[in-house]
Amino acid sequence: MHFIEQEQPTEAIKILIANTVLGSNGARYRHVNTLEQLTKLDNPLYFSLMAKELCLGNITLCQREDSLYLRYFTFHPRFQATLNTSKRIKDRESILKEEINVYLNSLISETKQSIYAYIEPDNIRSLNMAKAFGFSPTAKIAMYHFSRRFPRASRQFKILTFDEAIPFIRNQFSNHSYYVENPKSGIYAGWLINNEIALVTRFHEASWEIKSIKGPFGKLLINVLPWLPIVNKLITPACHKFLAFDSFLSLNPSIDAKDVNAFLSAGLAHFKVHHMMHWVDESSLNRQYVEDIQWGMLHRILGKSEINLVVRGHAAAGPYFIDAMDML
């Protein structure tokens, strides 16, 4: 076995990431469109544990202007120790952790940058691993669910190019920590009032195979959901297609809640889905729009939750820009 560093994912790396089930306690899911998502990563760096042609572990980092984002941290099940794991495997894990620590230290030393990641608070295994690798909790990021059974299309909804949208987004968010621009990621859209852009956001398409959802009956509910009227139109566990949105901003001070909700509903209609997720740093002054959104049935069922922002190295001060692609 040996570690290698690459800028392009091999087939072995793709297979490992595509087959990884994320989460531990609570929600568990697998990305269905992993290979497509890999093509959208900004300046990725792959650090992998190889055994001949088999990838046994991978750390994927996105190299950004002033930081490194930890996108994937996944290992083959044989290296995921539990309380009942044999001493031999635990010893092997200890060696792996030492190698990874050396690698992360060298990155921070060479780049003079910090490394950050997002972890769900009920993912105890990942939180413990992050702590073992020197990551510290820095902030809580709020997560919301927007859903509509019958989303409405609108002529006021318009797809924007990167060049059309990014000046507005840059002006609003470039002073946020971890702000990043990635032309390969997401589809920009605007809401027109009197033929002028009044609202802007960016949508990301995603597809998950959902193994379980939060709560003591999470696995049972996944089996029941396809048979529940109304809800089964919003969540399809075997292949749940949905959106996430970020970079939401208003260019018109007189915009009202009706337009905000119509814009997001039109986004669902345009992409032919019924559910979208949104993450926001609630310490940001730009988060007032959240109060105007009628989130819908899924939000009433799942509720608002929080994601931990963890950092190794110097932690930048908030508010924080949340790229929804980083969460997918």
Helix (H) or strand (E) run with residue 131 in it: helix 124-132
> What pLDDT does 126 receive?
85
CB 44 within 8 A of CB 325: no
**Cα distances (Å, whole numbers) of residue 36 to 19, 269, 276:** 14, 22, 19
Report d(CA 8, CA 86) in Å as an integer. 34
From first to last of its 328 residues, the chain has per-residue pLDDT tens of 788 999 999 999 999 999 988 876 667 888 898 889 999 999 999 999 898 889 989 999 999 988 999 999 988 776 655 444 555 555 566 777 888 888 898 888 888 899 999 998 878 888 888 998 999 999 999 999 999 999 999 999 999 999 999 999 999 999 999 999 999 999 999 999 999 999 999 999 999 998 877 655 556 666 776 667 778 888 888 889 999 999 999 999 889 999 999 999 999 999 999 999 999 998 888 888 999 999 999 898 888 989 999 999 999 999 999 999 999 8
| HEC per residue, 202-232 | EEEEEEEEEEECCCCCHHHHHHHHHHCCCHH
Residues composing the chain: 328
Structure token pair of residue 283:
């310490």
CB 142 within 8 A of CB 304: yes
What phi, psi does 262 have (nearest 5°)? -65, -40
> What pLDDT does 302 receive?
84
Domain coordinates in residue numbering, the chain: 2-139, 143-327
> What pLDDT does 269 receive?
98
> What pLDDT does 84 receive?
46
Q: Has domain 2-139 been given CATH number 3.40.630.30? A: yes
Report d(CA 325, CA 328) in Å as an integer. 5
| Pick from 202, 209, 200: nearest CA to 182 | 202
> What pLDDT does 93 receive?
62
- Whether 143-327 and 2-139 are alike in CATH topology: the answer is yes
**Which CATH code for domain 143-327?**
3.40.630
